[in-house]
Structure 1
Amino acid sequence: MIEAHLPRRRLHRAVFVAAGVYNIAWGLYAVADPQWLFRVSGMTPQNQPQIFMTLGMVLGLYGLLYLEVARRPEDGFAIAAVGLAGKLLGPIGWLGLYITGEWPLASGVILLTNDLIWWLPFGLYVRDAWPHWRRTLTRR
């Protein structure tokens, strides 16, 4: 049986290479300068910067997973779906911090490059990859 080709495969590969490189770079920077967001948004520096460093480590590891999606886009649905969920849930969590006054509006800068710009390309990939992933599940 001939496999159906993933729609927009080249676009998806490019998006996940970019996401992978971005996440690794962001993670490394967060580890090197864990107070940057607090400085940029005018918040009091953290007493425990290791928390932000850990966030950087986790997001950097996501970058490795995104590079795997770029390498094998036909098999990356689950990884991308988890990534997209995080990119949707992160802003919801930030909104709670903003509404309660714990974080200022300026801290929303973190949402622009970590979440919002990825919604469309990740959502498009998840939509395109879903039928292929579903077919692979039924063959097992």
Structure 2
Amino acid sequence: MKRRALHRAVFTLAAVYNVLWGLYAAVDPQWLFRFAGMPPMNQPALFSCLGMVIGVYGLLYAEVARRPEHGFALAAVGLLGKVLGPVGLALLILRGEWPVATLVLCLTNDFVWWVPFGLYLWDAWPHYRRTFSPA
């Protein structure tokens, strides 16, 4: 696979980042609201749950790092989440429900991963296609 070592490093980093972010969100679910100057959430367990989901994605990224030739579908789902998350946040911001400061969520959780995940999907596509081509 082209750029295999790079892809392994990126997905290892993504795995560690997601697990750590998920743990932090579970331990301190009000951090974003303090950061953005918003009133505290009345249901902080929702943000803790978001942290759990993001942390679990870390396990999937670890699997992509372990076997990059077989991680296309996992990485595609990851990138889709990294695109749809900012779309949802943009809608909240445009409707005036959340302040622009909440974009901090997308800076490290989403935007920084678009290019490396996209590059990986580009490089992994031939391996994925071969796996599902007729014999």
| Shorter-chain TM-score tier | over 0.9
| 1:108-127 superposed Cα distances (whole Å, 9 cap, x missing partner) | 10110000000000000011
Gaps of 5+ in 1: 1-5
TM-score, structure 2 as length reference: 0.98
One-letter amino acid matched to 2:133 = T
CA drift of 1:83 comes to: 0.2
Q: Which amino acid in the other structure matches residue 72 of structure 1?
A: R
1:87 and 1:121 map into 2 onto residues whose CA distance is 12
Q: What is the root-mean-square deviation in Å for CA atoms of aligned residues?
A: 0.8
Cα deviation 1:27-86 (Å, max 9, x = unaligned) = 000000000000001111100000000000000000000000000000000000000000
**Kindly, what percent of the aligned residue pairs are identical?**
65
TM-score by length of 1: 0.95
**Residues 13-32 of structure 1: pairs in structure 2 closer than 5 A:** 13-32=8-27
Aligned length: 135
Distance (whole Å) between structure 1 residues aligned to residue 31 and residue 127 of structure 2: 41
Q: Which runs of 4+ in 1 moved over 6 A?
A: none
Query: Any stretches of 5+ residues in structure 2 without a counterpart?
Result: none
Match of 2:123 among 86, 108, 128: 128
The corresponding residue for 1:87 is 82
Cα displacement (A) at 1:138: 1.4
Give, in angstroms, the shift of residue 139 of structure 1: 5.2
Q: 1:36 maps to which residue?
A: 31
Q: Distance in 2 between matches of 1:86 and 1:128?
A: 20
Q: Distance in 2 between matches of 1:77 and 1:129?
A: 6
Deviation at 1:131, TM superposition (A): 1.0
